[in-house]
Amino acid sequence: MFTGTIVDAFSKVFPILLILGLGFFLRRRQFLQPGTVQELKKLVINVTLPALLFLAFSRVDLQPQYALIVGLVFLACLLALMLGERLKTIAGDQARYFPALMTGFEAGMMGYAIYTSVYGQENLYKFGIIDLGQVTFVFFVLVTALERITTGSRPLLQTAKKFLTTPVILAILAGILFKASGLAAAFAAWPISNSLLVTLSLIGGLTTPLVALVIGYDVNIQPGSLRMPLVSIALRLLFWVPAGLLLNWLVVGGLLRLDAGFQAAVMTMFVLPPPFVIPLFMQGAASEERNFVVNSLSLATLVTLFAFTVITVLYAPAALQP
């Protein structure tokens, strides 16, 4: 029985692994140019993922209790950053960027795709709610900390404006308003307007394969020492895995009594790699620092794929079926 559960879980993740392998193969064969891959990332972030999120949030009745989850995820991210500051001396010459690798998650270019691949679009809003806490932290705390290292922090009003105009946030807010206004039901009731929703669903469905292809292409472990990247990943998981289990036990599954989809969303988020934008804030960084960050992100990506397979066993998608 348990063996069958593992096989079933792996079968759901295996297509993602195959597309990742295709992306890696295309890189080795130089079939796609780096500029093309960057354009695919723009397509995902600005078009396919927002379409997916708009539909997900237009089909759900949000509950006030979800705000507790958002707040706790934000606080957990802040605590992890503070812990990283206390431990950064172990990173030696790479200490400046060690705290950033302890917190924040790559939800946009990885989390939504792998979660949807197993738990389906109908449950995607659950992952989106978890993401609201961490993406708020990334924009207002982590990015500010990274900018302080390089170019200097930007004004709070400018940060808030950038946050609210991010395609992912706009899509979530638009989906919520679409549902609250009654337009979602009205559009679904008329065949012509419903075809617009079907179009968005088709566009959103491109997210998972495109993301898997891009991630496979981007996995690139640089030559050099892997000891500190492995240490950073191990310390990160030693914080986030117990934090996720505790959050599920006490709050998500305990106090709020939310289903396995929410609990899987928490654990999926907490095993994701650090944000892929970190290298963008490394102007003037030494080559050792850049290799440390790139190797950490690449290795963390591979670890996530294994960890997510375990999550699908612990929080079986079948448990969400009525």
pLDDT digits (tens, 9 = 90+) for 138-189: 988 888 888 877 666 667 788 788 888 889 899 999 999 999 899 888 888 8
The answer to the question of residue 321 being in a domain is no
**Domain span holding position 183:** 2-316
- Residue pair 231/90 in contact by the 8 Å Cβ criterion: yes
Range of weakest confidence among 88-92, 102-106, 155-159, 236-240: 155-159
Contact by Cβ (8 Å): 281, 97? no
Please indicate, yes or no, if residue 53 is contained in any of the structural domains.
yes
The per-residue pLDDT for range 247-268, each reduced to its tens digit, is 999 999 999 999 999 999 999 9
> In a 10 Å sphere around its CB, with 0-12 CB exposed, 13-18 middle and 19+ buried, how is residue 181 labelled?
exposed
Whether 217 is covered by a domain: the verdict is: yes
Task: Report if residue 56 sits inside a domain.
Answer: yes
Please indicate, yes or no, if residue 37 is contained in any of the structural domains.
Answer: yes
What span, in angstroms and rounded, lies between the C-alpha atoms of 79 and 219?
A: 28
What pLDDT, on the 0 to 100 scale, is given for residue 163?
85
- Residue 114 domain-assigned? yes
pLDDT tens digit sequence for 39-75: 999 999 999 999 999 999 998 888 999 999 999 999 9
- Torsion of Cα atoms, 147 then 153 then 154 then 156, to 10°: 120
pLDDT in tens, 10-20: 777 788 888 88
Establish if 238 belongs to a structural domain.
yes
Give 46-96 as a DSSP string.
IIIHHHHHHHHHTT----TTHHHHHHHHHHHHHHHHHHHHHHGGGGGGGGG
Kindly state the tokens that stand for 6.
Answer: 């593992």
What percentage of the chain carries pLDDT values higher than 90? 44
Per the structure, the count of domains in the chain is 1
CATH number at residue 33: 1.20.1530
Helix, strand, coil distribution of the chain in percent, nearest 5: 80, 0, 20
Give per-residue pLDDT as tens, 97-126.
899 999 999 998 889 989 998 898 889 999
Determine the Cα–Cα distance for residues 154 and 141; give it in Å rounded to an integer: 11
Q: Is the pTM of this model over 0.85?
A: yes
322 within a domain of the structure (yes/no): no
* Of 78-82, 90-94, 127-131, minimum mean pLDDT range: 90-94
